[in-house]
Structure 1
Amino acid sequence: MTQKIALVTGAARGIGLATTKLFIEEGWQVAMVDRDGDELAIAVDGLDEAKPFVYDVSIPEQVTEMIAAVKGAFGRIDAVVNNAGVADFGPIEETDFARWRRVMETNLDGVFLVSQAAIPSLKETKGALLNIASISGLRASTLRVAYGTSKAAVIQLTKQQAAELGEYGIRANCVCPGPVRTKLAMAVHSQEIIDAYHDAIPLNRYGSEREIAEVIVFLCSERASYVTGQVVASDGGFDSTGVGLPALRT
C-alpha cells in the first residue's frame, strides 16, 4: 500500500509537532512546515519519516512554492493539517488594525491559502483537510477580539470546504482545542489563571498536546472516512458546560 503523506503547518512545536510524531507512529510520512527555520531544524532531528519545509503560510507566493516542494519531495499529499497560528491577545479598544491583520493573515488567510493550493493534490488522493480553530472560536473571551474572530472564521471556512469539496471525495473537519498544557501556556498562565480554568472545565485539567493530536490524526484517517464538516471541541467539556459552578461539585 502506498505510504500516506501528511502536510502539517506550524509543525516546529506544540500541537503541530505532537501531531507530526503521531502521524509517523501511524505509518505516515510528514511534511513539516514552519516559518521558524531554526526551531524546525531542531524539531525534525531524529524524525526519519519527516522532512522540513521553511515557508510562511500567510504569503501567497510562498504557499504556492511550498505545495510544489512537498509534491516534489513526496509525490502526493493525503492530508493537510492547518495548524499554524499566532496568539496576539489584547483589549478590544487597544486592538489596532495592525494587530488585527497580524492575527488574521496567519490564522485565517494562511488556512485559506494552504487549503486552496492543496485542493488539486487532495483531489488526486481523495484526501482530508483538517483545520485547527480554538475554543475561542466557539465562545467569546476577554482579550481575544482578533484571535477569537479568526478562529470562528476558520470554523465557517471548514464547513464551506466540506460542502463544496465533498463531491471530490475530500473531507474537511475542524478541531477546537481548549486550554492545552504547552510550554508557552505554562510560562504565561499564573496559578490563578490555571485554577480558574480548572474550575471551569468539567475534566478539571488542561489537555495535552498528544490528546489534541489523537483527534487530529483520527479525523485525517480512513477510520473517519464518513466524517466531514464537523467541528470537534477537544476541550475537556469547557464549551458544553459554559460557566462552571465549582462550589456545587462533590
Structure 2
Amino acid sequence: MSEFKQKVALVTGAGTGIGRATALGLAARGAKVVITGRRPEPLEQTAAGHENIVALVADVADPDDAARSVAKAVESFGRLDILVNNAGAGALLPLADVTAERIEMILAVNVVGPSLLAREALVHLSRTRGSIINVSSTFGHKAGAGLSHYAASKAALEHLTRCWALELAPQGIRVNSVAAGPTESAALTDMMGLSPQQAALVEEAEREQIPLKRRGVPDDIARWILHLADPASDWVTGQVIAVDGGLGLA
C-alpha cells in the first residue's frame, strides 16, 4: 500500500497509543514521518518500528518547540503534507480543586500547542495542499463530571477544526478532527494521574457505558486519522468524526 508515498507527516504525542499507531500506519503506507513527544525512550521505540520514522523530543506545551518540530520535518524530508495534532493533556479535576496552573497546563497542550503548530505548518501545507487532523475526544461534545476543563479544551479544538477548515480552504488545506472514545493506553495513569487500581475501575465503568461494550484500541482511532489524511478524502473538510463505540450517544 502506497497511498502516502512521497507524503511527509508530523505526528505529535507519538511515543505511545494513538500517536504511535498513526505514525506506524502512515509509514507502512509510504509516508515519511517525524514524530514528537516529551520522552525519548517511547519515541525511540516507535521509530524502531519503521525506517521511515524520525523522532524528535519536543513538548507541545512549549511555544518554541512548534517551530522546531515543523522545521525538523521540512529539513529531514523537504516538505510537509500532514500535521496530526495528537498530543493531549487532561485531568480528573473537580471544580473545587481547580487552579490556574492546572487549567493553563491543559489548555497549553490541547489548544495553544495545536494552534502554534498549525501556524508554523501553514506555509508548507499551503504548498502541498496538505491536511491537518486534530485528535479530540468524545468529551469534546459530551459532558462529563470532573472533566470540565479537559472537555472544554477538546470542545475548543473541535471548533478550531471547523473555523480553520473555512479559513484555510482557499489555500487547499483540509482540516478535520477525530473524536476518540476511551482507548486502551496509559492515559488514565499517565495523563489523568490515576492509580492502576483507580484506572481499572474507570475502564470497567467505561466498558459498561459504551454501547459496543468495549474500549477502543489505538488502531481503531489511527485508521480514521489515516482516512482523513488520505488524498482520496480531498473533498472532506471541517468534520469531527466520532470514533467511540457509540459512547457519545449513551
Q: Decide: shared fold, TM above 0.5.
A: yes
Give 3-state SS (helix, strand or coil) of 1:108's partner. Answer: helix
Q: Counterparts of 1:1-250 in structure 2 under 5 Å?
A: 3-185=6-188, 187=196, 190-239=199-248, 241-242=249-250
* Structure with max Cα Rg: 1
Task: Pick closer, same or farther for the CA change 1:65–1:206 going to 2, 3 Å.
Answer: same
Which letter maps to 1:154? L
| Distance across 2 between alignment mates of 1:53 and 1:188 | 33
Q: Would you say the 8 A contact 2:5–2:29 is kept in 1?
A: no
Aligned residues with identical type, % of pairs:
34
Task: State the aligned residue count.
Answer: 241
Which letter maps to 1:181? E
**Consecutive unaligned residues in structure 2, runs of 5 or more:** 190-195
| Distance across 1 between alignment mates of 2:65 and 2:185 | 28
| Distance across 1 between alignment mates of 2:160 and 2:187 | 27
| Distance across 1 between alignment mates of 2:197 and 2:123 | 41
Q: Would you say the 8 A contact 2:17–2:184 is kept in 1?
A: no
**TM-score, L = length of structure 1:** 0.91
**Aligned residue for 2:192?**
none
Q: Would you say the 8 A contact 2:9–2:31 is kept in 1?
A: yes
Shift of 1:43: 2.4
Task: Pick closer, same or farther for the CA change 1:190–1:59 going to 2, 3 Å.
Answer: closer
Shift of 1:183: 3.6
Give 3-state SS (helix, strand or coil) of 1:80's partner. Answer: strand
Give 3-state SS (helix, strand or coil) of 2:88's partner. Answer: coil
Q: Please tell me the root mean square deviation across aligned C-alpha atoms, in Å.
A: 1.7
Cα-to-partner distance string for 1:160-208 (whole Å, 9 max, x where unaligned): 1100000111000011101111144484655543333223211111111
Task: Pick closer, same or farther for the CA change 1:163–1:199 going to 2, 3 Å.
Answer: same
Shift of 1:98: 0.6
**TM-score, L = length of structure 2:** 0.91
Q: Would you say the 8 A contact 1:35–1:54 is kept in 2?
A: yes
Shift of 1:2: 5.9
Q: Would you say the 8 A contact 1:67–1:118 is kept in 2?
A: yes
